[in-house]
Structure 1
Amino acid sequence: MGKLKRSRKNSDLRGGYTTGACAAAAARAAVRKLVSQAHFSEIEIELPNRELATFELARLDGIDEVVAGVIKDAGDDPDCTHGLEIQCIARWKNSPGIQLIGGKGVATVTLPGLELAVGEPAINPVPRKNIYEMAELEWLKASALLREEIGIELEVCVPGGEEAAKQTINDRLGLLGGISILGTRGTVKPFSTSAFAASVRQSIEIARANGREHVVLTTGSRSEKAAMKLLPELSDLAFIQAGDFIGVGLRAAKRYEIQQVTLVAMIGKMAKLVSGRMMTHVSGHAIDFGQLSALAREENIPQSVCEQISSANTGRHVLEMVRKLNAQSYLNRLCREAHEHANQYTTEALDIQVLLIDFDGNLLASFPRFSQKKIQ
């Protein structure tokens, strides 16, 4: 596993490394062993962010075909790739230069819209460059005569990558057969939001590149499942779990010239959207129950209930109170407020619709009014 020198308090969360950094380390180790036949147990690389990191090798075998492996360590923010062995196989080839290919457990690009061409292994540009750089450091140590006559093929493999990919949205993005080799810095910050936000933007980019003009931003798996039932005419590619990053999704939709966006949320996230908060994480801004109470008064909710709303504990609590009154106008008003904020956020560049669902996925309210299309 990688060891990066840094000052760290005991209370700090431990950082980790990207799949790209692990692949670069494995590539440098494999080429060093192929060229020198030396024996060693760790390898140092320069990460894309230009920090130095040392990785322990889980595997280093072979003579004319060398397999090097590094265990992916995601630190205190483990994901589905945490603990996987990222391997690189280095072998001789008959033409000069270094060639990079994807092996078992690494996804293949099958849809347009990514930075990589269809048919390429899903090794993103930054880690791809880092792999080449680290491999070339060792390849340059070989004799000039050898480098003129032959070259090296590098095959990145991830045993278990196909199974791990089932926990990602790779399949929906047309990345088939394994995981992606990712990472723009080389390091992983615990509980960082950058990777999730990037996946939201990428999902929208791919949807647009494949002809989708209508996308659906949901806040999680339950809201996505409900959205798919409400909008069965749309393909899976149109449904994007934006989580807490509704704002990121809206900006990306505007950037990639999506025509129509449907936002689907339950009451907790909806209450934050009503306040214009496009970052809806539970640890962020709390729900403004005073605002929810004020809107209730404007929709002629009884004063006693308005007072209860102002001191409610959760969005679910508010929903339970107003549903007893059959206050449809109030629920529609919440959608309208969220719609207005989303419209302002995108400077009215998109056709936006907001849907509020309950915890069982049933439609409670909408703005503008939602009419479900029927599939023949």
Structure 2
Amino acid sequence: MTPPARLNLSLPAPNGLRRGFTTGSAATAALKAALLLLVHGEEPAEVEVTLPDGDFSLLLPVRNARLTDVGAYAEVVKDGGDDPDATHGATLWVTATPLPDPELPMTFHAGEGVGTVTAPGIRVPVGEPAINPVPREMMRWAAQEVAGHEAFAVTVGCVNGEAIARKTFNPRLGILGGVSILGTTGIVEPMSLEAYMASVEVYVRVAVHARPDAVVLTPGKLGRDYARAALNVPPQAIVQMSNFVGAALDALQEALEETGHPLPLLLVAGHPGKLAKVLNGDWNTHSQYSGMAMNAVARVAGGLGVDGPTVQALAEANTVDACVALLTGHERGAEVWAEIARQVAQTLHHRAANVRRVRVALFALDGAGLGEAEA
């Protein structure tokens, strides 16, 4: 098996900004350092963490690795790069305690400063620590690499985590007591406001000046993958706009005015947790600058005459993923998502009037299509 290639975080991203690593990568590095000390007697200054894709790794600094009465402890200072992130600079710590049988699965526990899930809709069951599935898998891999098994009780904490969490959506999400351990790729792509908006503008201008039949705007991987599969467009016509929906549309409109090239189709594809926010007038969908989209989902459902209990449940849901679950199997679920897609497309078209057609495609986190419509 080919070992993973090491990513160098000191090299800038294509937009010139500095990448960082997630809280999930930080916790995994701390666990690996603790286990290296516990199992092999090593006190590393840095450890290599395998990323979720299995193809790449990160070499991350660790500190304060030490044995405890029941196992071992280590810390990692989370570096978010140039991304605006409430957890940037936070100290994540991990304790690892061996379980009595090496065949037992790893158990996860919330230490001080890491939240506990208290409401459904998160990808972690109620009562569990707010450690998402991908970081859990990364930590299992780390244990297998070091010890050959995963039979450890792992507690993850964060210094001042409860105060940090108040700057996030965690309290609204029903995650109480601290931060979440997150990350689907292990990497934080730099998306700081002015610099990233400037890079989005450049990408959009390059796309438009190539005079394509379609331009694709997408917040992230879901929409990008769909666009590559569904449309025969060149790579430069697919722009990852992150949270900057309004800035991307303004750049598109300006570039079209400059070139005089009529754009036949703008495809905007992604998760409704991002895209439905424009129905609330939120054009920067970062959680620091926008509300959440469940009220928009409920409002559209109510406008369609969906039954009252379902509308109320949508409005009271703690995430849009919970809304997806509520509407899955509902007799009018597909109709709700199609109408949301139509209203989002209409809203986007008002801001990008030089585009002939705007198509919106909505996806669940697992990549399943939810709804698609044009305006």
TM-score of the pair, normalised by structure 2: 0.54
Q: In the alignment, residue 218 of structure 1 is paired with which amino acid?
A: N
Deviation of 1:115 (Å): 2.5
CA separation in 2, counterparts of 1:217 and 1:275? 9
Of 77, 80, 86, the match for 1:71: 77
User: Structure 1 CA distance, aligned partners of 2:185 and 2:138?
Assistant: 10
| Alignment root-mean-square deviation, CA | 4.9
Question: Match for residue 218 of structure 1?
Answer: 280
Instruction: Give the C-alpha shift of residue 251 in structure 1.
Output: 9.2
Shift of 1:114: 2.8
Residues in 2 aligned to 1:290 and 1:217: alpha-carbon distance in whole angstroms: 19
User: Which residue matches 1:276?
Assistant: 349
SS in 2 for 1:75: coil
Secondary structure of residue in 1 paired with 2:76: strand
CA distance in 1, matches of 2:56, 2:138: 12
What is the CA–CA distance in structure 2 between the aligned matches of 1:92 and 1:250, rounded to whole Å?
39
Change (3 A) 1:34 1:290: closer
Cα deviation for residue 173 of structure 1 reads: 1.8
Which is worse superposed, 233-242 or 11-20? 233-242
In 1, the alpha carbon distance for the partners of 2:220 and 2:280 equals 18
Specify the alignment match of 2:64 in structure 1. 59
Aligned partner of 2:109 among 76, 98, 101: 101
- Say which SS state the counterpart of residue 39 (structure 2) adopts: helix
Residue 87 of structure 1: CA displacement?
A: 1.2
> Any conservation in 1 of the 2:108–2:129 contact (CA below 8 Å)?
no
Matched residue, 2:136: 128
2:170–2:179 Cα contact (<8 Å) kept:
yes
1:1-376 correspondence runs (5 A): 4-5=7-8, 8=11, 12-49=16-53, 50-64=55-69, 65-96=71-102, 97=104, 98-140=106-148, 151-191=151-191, 193-194=219-220, 217-220=279-282, 238=315, 257=333, 273-274=346-347, 276=349, 287-288=352-353
Q: Is the 8 A contact 2:121 2:318 kept in 1?
A: no
- Give the deviation of 1:128 after TM superposition: 0.6
- What one-letter code is carried by the residue in structure 2 that aligns with 1:181? I
Mapped partners of 1:86, 1:289: distance in 2: 48
Give yes or no for contact 1:217–1:239 (8 Å, CA) kept in 2.
no
The answer (yes or no) to whether the contact 1:45–1:54 under 8 Å persists in 2 is yes
1:18 maps to a residue whose letter is T
Partner of 2:262: none
AA aligned to 1:158 is C
DSSP-derived class of the 1:276 partner:
helix
Report SS of the residue matched to 2:24: helix
In 1, Cα distance between equivalents of 2:142 and 2:97: 16
Could you list the runs of 4 or more consecutive aligned residues of structure 1 that deviate by over 3 angstroms after TM superposition? 6-11, 92-98, 192-197, 200-204, 219-224, 233-237, 239-242, 248-256, 258-263, 272-275, 286-291
One-letter amino acid of the counterpart of residue 4, structure 1: L
| 2:16 maps to amino acid | D
SS in 1 for 2:72: strand
**Could you report, residue by residue, the CA deviation over 1:72-92 in whole angstroms, capped at 9, with x for unpaired residues?**
111111300111111111123
Structure 2 stretches lacking a partner, 5+ long: 1-5, 197-218, 222-241, 244-269, 283-288, 300-307, 363-369
Residues 1:239 and 1:94: Cα distance change in structure 2 (over 3 Å): closer
Matched to 1:41, the amino acid is: A
In structure 2, C-alpha distance between the alignment counterparts of 1:222 and 1:91, rounded to whole Å: 40
Contact 1:203 / 1:240 at 8 angstroms: preserved in 2?
Answer: no
Shift of 1:159: 1.5
CA spacing shift, 1:9–1:132, aligned 2, 3 Å: closer
Could you tell me the percent identity over the aligned residues? 31
How far apart are residue 153 of structure 1 and its match?
Answer: 1.6
Structure with the greater alpha carbon radius of gyration:
1
Say whether the 8 Å CA contact 2:120–2:126 is kept in structure 1: yes
Separation of aligned partners in 1, 2:188 and 2:313: 29
1:362 maps to what in 2? none
| C-alpha contact (below 8 Å) 1:201/1:252 kept by paired residues | no
- Report deviation, 1:289: 8.7
Cα offset, 1:136, TM superposition: 2.0
Deviates more, 1:118-127 or 1:8-17: 8-17
Change (3 A) 1:254 1:33: same
Mapped to 2, the partners of 1:8 and 1:88 lie a distance apart of 28
Alpha-carbon distance in 1 for matches of 2:51, 2:9? 14
SS in 2 for 1:44: strand
C-alpha distance in 1 between matches for 2:144 and 2:291: 47
Moved more, 91-100 or 184-193: 91-100
> Which segments of 5 or more consecutive residues in structure 1 lack a partner in the other structure?
141-146, 205-214, 264-268, 278-285, 292-339, 351-376
CA contact (8 A) 1:276 1:341 kept: yes
d(CA) in 1 for partners of 2:272 and 2:173?
9
Aligned amino acid, residue 173 of structure 2? L
